[in-house]
Amino acid sequence: MSSFLNLMNHGGGSMWVIAVFSVVAIAVAIERALSQYQFIARAKLLASNVNQALAKGSTADGRSACERSISPLADVFLVGFAKVGKHRDEFVWAAVHRERQRLVAGLRAKLWVLGTIGATAPFVGLFGTVVGIMDAMRLFEGDVSKVLGPISQALVVTAAGILVAVEAVILYNYFGQRAAKAAAETKLLADEFLETLIEANGGAQGGAAADSAGAKA
């Protein structure tokens, strides 16, 4: 236990900061993994069920599939169901894609934490090494052997900072790539859904008629 505390106290306590960075990076990675788990597979399954229902002319079944689904894409589709027939087609498209953009933003949530850790951890480690070397220099009395041990211990802090930074950058790139892939997939699925939905509801003329009726009311 004492050796562990000695290690963590290297560099004026910088090792504690680096350890916290590592724990936070792992926690964010776990949260992102759970959030993105089977995202694309669930989205594709929902889109398939909804489009099949719409192709059969059953808007109610399509909406019901969204309400039962655990896929976050269901909220995007529900916006389309709520708007279609009441507004022009372009308004339906805009509303659905606004909701999709909110979904995409959620896919990248907390990734900034990994990016920040990846950028700052090496500097925290370097700071700890500088502090450790300064402390070692106080022991120097003409005998280099007295300071070699403390200097080597101080260098451990930089190594730890670089290690945590590499961990954070790898996680950032991995989950960022997954988020980008999911964002591209949701755009394709949303476009396909909108085409099928609008066709099932009579296209632009139906939306225009609804707008005209609403204006007269």
- Residue 41, classified by CB atoms within 10 Å of its CB into exposed (0-12), middle (13-18) or buried (19+), is exposed
- Percent of the chain whose pLDDT exceeds 90: 56
Nearest one of 88, 69, 70, 66 to 79, comparing CA atoms:
66
Quote the percentage of the chain above a pLDDT of 70: 82
pLDDT (tens digit, 9 = 90+) per residue, 106-136? 999 899 999 999 999 999 988 888 887 777 7
Which residue in 171, 146, 153 sits closest to 14, CA to CA?
Answer: 153
CA–CA gap between residue 18 and residue 23 (Å, rounded): 9
Q: Tokens in use for 117? A: 């850790």
pLDDT at 217 over 80: no
Helices (H), the chain: 2-8, 14-36, 39-55, 59-68, 73-83, 89-107, 111-137, 145-200, 203-216
| Region of residue 87 (left: phi > 0; alpha: psi -120 to 50; beta: else) | beta
Cα distances (Å, whole numbers) of residue 21 to 5, 92, 123, 164: 17, 44, 12, 7
The alpha-carbon radius of gyration of the chain (Å, integer) is 28
pLDDT, one tens digit per residue, over 156-202 is 888 999 999 999 999 999 999 999 999 999 999 999 999 999 888 87
pTM exceeding the 0.85 threshold for the entire prediction:
no
Rounded distance between C-alpha atoms, residue 175 and residue 100, angstroms? 19
Q: What is the distance between the alpha carbons of residues 173 and 19, in angstroms, rounded to a whole number?
A: 21
